[in-house]
Chains A and B, each alone.
Chain A
């Protein structure tokens, strides 16, 4: 057995000792579920193959989706799972990144106490890499989501912003437009003035009534008041919070005075910090970044964290994880359960141990 594999099984044994059941999802996963979930981007980062019988199949790009599916289908509650195995990632832009590597993971499905479950996952991972020189980054996508949900504007605008939470550039463009900071494009003005009449024949699957519905939505949007400058400023300030946890909490509570809708999410951060502290994490020195995890971790919708090797910017993250309640809703066909998990890369651990 290779060093990396041995290390992977050792870590998995630690997670098993913490109460997790070992699971072994298949390497070949139906592509449809993953494509539906991640969209076209997954094609760039996963190996897709096919056969005449089962159609498109994907070489497991991560374990989270199959573990969630398995739990939603047959799992008892609460549940803790661990696994160790290869994941496969297509690399189009960086020849130095591995296209096949081992992951060890720990996933918790538990309704009782989300803050405690978050703390449990991070503390276990931190413990597994405690002998290595690392630094930790944490964030909470749930705070930004709460801020968006609480905006005093139309439901359609809030839905559009929520849909692009993980695409900062489009999120910013939408916020600028909804707040009147960018001018309405000429073509939009023409549509609103009823001047964009098309004589071309109707082709394709998108029907005339769908176009009418969208034009009606554009009219409704044009009538809505712009999102206030105060609210936009609050989101800007919120996204810039980058401090150790105690100071971040202080800043977020200040923002919550103007933006009370985030109060509950901010208190959730406090509860998590206390739960972490109880598990021996040095919360006073723990960094918190409100925008952490927005670009790379699409399905996370609450607590997020990453652990990186100190002095090795060339190495990928040693571990990463977070809360993904919405994913269980998406895959659960009506059912849902709060869930949090993390993965660790034993290959990077072994590299670092070799450099000690």
Chain B
């Protein structure tokens, strides 16, 4: 049996179901709305596992599911050496989200990472602390800022309502996923012109480590042929 992990609720689940239906694989939830059980029609030997999108990278890396649908951002944040554990099969064309760095709109002197770095140096001198960037994507943001050579900042953890951290003086800037930018504007923040850390979208991933039982290889081939059409 080949296991396919899919986000368990909301628009991401609906879009995923639609995408698979277009490829002749009909996914559905069974039982009550609260029960995370599902059925697969149109292909033999594949079972559906409904999971939170955030858990799918870990399940793929552990080999407990063979395929999974989740964002590039979550895979790269949660898995180190992700290329060795999972392989991208198809970008699915929805769930677009950019991980960006944003600063207060009132910072008229700051538009680029170069400006942010200079502002961080001055901020540290004036306030005796590093310029704080609120995020839940610690690894991605840290690696990005190291790569471009921004210094004198500190990441502070924010698991939700990140756009509000600046007004609350819990951070001076943020790094977060934005799909429209409206929430940023409403919170008086602007995106740095070169502050795109990662462009993410819903992607179908294959686990490189999940075990195959006898007969699974044929099912896996059929599945791949369907989704790659």
Partner-B contacts on A (CB < 8 A): 35, 39-41, 43-44, 92-95, 160, 163-164, 167, 169-171, 173, 177, 185, 187-188, 191, 196-198, 200-206, 208, 210-211, 213-215, 218
Q: Tell me which of A94, A164, A169, A210 has the highest count of chain B C-beta atoms within 10 A of its own C-beta.
A: A210
> How many inter-chain contacts with C-beta < 8 Å in the A-B complex?
112
Q: Tell me which of A94, A177, A203, A215 has the highest count of chain B C-beta atoms within 10 A of its own C-beta.
A: A203
> Which residue from chain B places its CB closest to the CB of A174 in the assembled complex?
B114
Interface string of B113-154 (1 = CB under 8 A from A): 011011101110011001100000011001101111111111
Asked whether A203 lies within 8 Å of B188 as measured between CB atoms, the reply is: yes
Asked whether B151 lies within 8 Å of A163 as measured between CB atoms, the reply is: yes
Tell me if B176 is interfacial: C-beta within 8 Å of chain A.
Answer: no
Asked whether A164 lies within 8 Å of B149 as measured between CB atoms, the reply is: yes
- Residues of chain A within 8 A of B171, CB atoms compared: 204
Asked whether B149 lies within 8 Å of A41 as measured between CB atoms, the reply is: no
> Would you mind naming 30 contact pairs between A and B with Cβ atoms under 8 Å apart?
A39-B152, A39-B153, A40-B145, A43-B155, A44-B143, A93-B80, A93-B81, A94-B81, A160-B118, A163-B151, A167-B151, A170-B148, A170-B149, A170-B151, A171-B149, A173-B149, A177-B114, A185-B112, A187-B112, A188-B112, A198-B107, A202-B104, A203-B166, A203-B167, A203-B188, A204-B169, A204-B172, A206-B107, A211-B108, A215-B108
Asked whether B166 lies within 8 Å of A204 as measured between CB atoms, the reply is: yes
CB-contact partner of B119 in A43, A44, A169, A214, under 8 A: A214
State the Cβ distance, A18 to closest chain B Cβ, in Å. 37
Please name 13 further chain A to chain B contacts, defined as beta carbons within 8 Å, in addition to the given A198-B105, A198-B108, sorted by A numbering: A43-B155, A44-B143, A169-B148, A170-B151, A171-B149, A200-B104, A200-B106, A204-B166, A210-B122, A211-B108, A211-B109, A214-B122, A218-B109
State the Cβ distance, B84 to closest chain A Cβ, in Å. 9
Asked whether B121 lies within 8 Å of A197 as measured between CB atoms, the reply is: no
> Which residue from chain A places its CB closest to the CB of B80 in the assembled complex?
A92
State the Cβ distance, A351 to closest chain B Cβ, in Å. 23
> Which residue from chain B places its CB closest to the CB of A215 in the assembled complex?
B109
- Residues of chain A within 8 A of B146, CB atoms compared: 41, 44
Asked whether A44 lies within 8 Å of B149 as measured between CB atoms, the reply is: no
- Residues of chain A within 8 A of B104, CB atoms compared: 200, 202-204, 206
> Which residue from chain A places its CB closest to the CB of B119 in the assembled complex?
A214
A200, B106: Cα distance in complex, Å? 5
A200, B103: Cα distance in complex, Å? 12
- Residues of chain A within 8 A of B138, CB atoms compared: 43
> Which residue from chain A places its CB closest to the CB of B130 in the assembled complex?
A39
A211, B111: Cα distance in complex, Å? 13
Partner-A contacts on B (CB < 8 A): 80-81, 104-109, 111-112, 114-115, 117-119, 121-123, 126-127, 130-131, 138-139, 142-143, 145-155, 166-167, 169, 171-172, 188, 193
State the Cβ distance, A91 to closest chain B Cβ, in Å. 8
Chain B binding surface SS class: mixed
Asked whether A197 lies within 8 Å of B112 as measured between CB atoms, the reply is: no
Asked whether B114 lies within 8 Å of A173 as measured between CB atoms, the reply is: yes
A208, B117: Cα distance in complex, Å? 18
State the Cβ distance, A259 to closest chain B Cβ, in Å. 24
State the Cβ distance, B60 to closest chain A Cβ, in Å. 17
- Residues of chain A within 8 A of B153, CB atoms compared: 39-40
Asked whether A191 lies within 8 Å of B108 as measured between CB atoms, the reply is: yes
A200, B74: Cα distance in complex, Å? 32
State the Cβ distance, B154 to closest chain A Cβ, in Å. 6
CB-contact partner of B149 in A167, A198, A204, under 8 A: A167
> Which residue from chain B places its CB closest to the CB of A44 in the assembled complex?
B142
State the Cβ distance, A154 to closest chain B Cβ, in Å. 14
- Residues of chain A within 8 A of B155, CB atoms compared: 40, 43
- Residues of chain A within 8 A of B81, CB atoms compared: 93-95
Asked whether A206 lies within 8 Å of B118 as measured between CB atoms, the reply is: no
A3, B144: Cα distance in complex, Å? 41
A185, B192: Cα distance in complex, Å? 13
A206 with B148: in contact, given A40-B155, A211-B108 (CB under 8 Å)?
no
A39, B148: Cα distance in complex, Å? 15
CB-contact partner of A203 in B106, B118, B121, B142, under 8 A: B106
> Which residue from chain A places its CB closest to the CB of B151 in the assembled complex?
A39
- Residues of chain B within 8 A of A218, CB atoms compared: 109
- Residues of chain B within 8 A of A200, CB atoms compared: 104-106, 188
Asked whether A197 lies within 8 Å of B169 as measured between CB atoms, the reply is: no
CB-contact partner of B127 in A94, A171, A185, A205, under 8 A: A205
- Residues of chain A within 8 A of B126, CB atoms compared: 210
A92, B140: Cα distance in complex, Å? 12
State the Cβ distance, B187 to closest chain A Cβ, in Å. 8
- Residues of chain A within 8 A of B111, CB atoms compared: 185, 187-188, 191
Q: Tell me which of A95, A185, A206 has the highest count of chain B C-beta atoms within 10 A of its own C-beta.
A: A206
A185, B193: Cα distance in complex, Å? 10
- Residues of chain A within 8 A of B139, CB atoms compared: 44, 92
